[in-house]
Chain A
Amino acid sequence: EIVLTQSPGTLSLSPGERATLSCRASQSVSSSYLAWYQQKPGQAPRLLIYGASSRATGIPDRFSGSGSGTDFTLTISRLEPEDFAVYYCQQYGSSSWTFGQGTKVEIK
């Protein structure tokens, strides 16, 4: 089973700053199988990025994804107040899916 490790666990930033979230896989993952989700307290996760770099419908362009192989990155170019949340990466492989443990982006 592929393990996804996200870092850092918590990111403390101010609105307007740039956020860079990392997702590292224990073995190579196809970019087509890598997605990112945002979750706010008391809410369901929301799809942000699929195929490692494609934004989902309605997602602002301040969100971008990149990476390949074992290293993937979610970047939020300028944090808006509504972006403070937990972010999860996810991968598909061999008829199972796994999530990273999440990165919390909190207001500094």
Chain B
Amino acid sequence: QVQLVESGGGVVQPGRSLRLSCAASGFTFSSYGMHWVRQAPGKGLEWVAVIWYDGSNKYYADSVKGRFTISRDNSKNTLYLQMNSLRAEDTAVYYCARDRRALRGPIIEYYFDYWGQGTLVTVSS
């Protein structure tokens, strides 16, 4: 069965860096795009970044552009999020999610079909 397991969260001081990992299993990782989504305490979901199945394209939310970098290692079935220049407002649970693009006739449907359980990042001095 599909499993996504995040790790690497913790407490970090403002301005410092942290790298999150998402270990994937139960599917052909190299065939799927992957996302990071975050959720600040008591708040809603915020999309953070996406990477294409082969790493050829990456897109970011404006709130993290220039500070965060999404990457993947298909040989290790692992997704990463390098977070630099962290701010208090980056405090959140970070989820990885699988990108799904399902073809229905001439139409492609976009959604996230599997999610990890999340890892908490706390930015505080």
Chain A positions within 8 Å of B, measured between CB atoms, are 32-33, 35, 37, 39, 43-47, 50-51, 54, 56, 88, 90, 92, 95-102
Contact = CB atoms under 8 A, between A and B. Distances in A.
8 contacts: A35-B110, A37-B112, A44-B95, A47-B112, A95-B50, A95-B57, A99-B45, A102-B44
Interface of B: 35, 37, 44-47, 50, 57, 59, 61, 95, 100, 102, 104, 107-118
Contacts of B113: 47, 50, 56
B45 A33 contact: no
Residue from A43, A50, A88 with most neighbouring chain B CB atoms (10 Å) = A50
Given A44-B116, A56-B113, A99 B47 contact: yes
Contacts of B37: 45
Contacts, number: 69
A88 B44 contact: yes
B59 to A, nearest CB: 4
A65 to B, nearest CB: 12
A99 B46 contact: yes
Closest 6 CB pairs of A and B: A50-B111, A44-B115, A35-B111, A92-B110, A97-B47, A51-B109
B95 A50 contact: no
B77 to A, nearest CB: 19
A54 B113 CA distance: 13
A58 to B, nearest CB: 11
A96 B61 contact: yes
Contacts of A43: 117
Nearest to A35: B111
Contacts of A51: 102, 104, 107, 109, 111
A90 B59 contact: no
Contact of B47 (A44, A47, A98): A98
Contacts of B111: 35, 47, 50-51, 90, 92
A88 B112 CA distance: 12
A88 B44 CA distance: 8
Given A45-B95, A102-B44, A95 B110 contact: no
A45 B44 contact: no
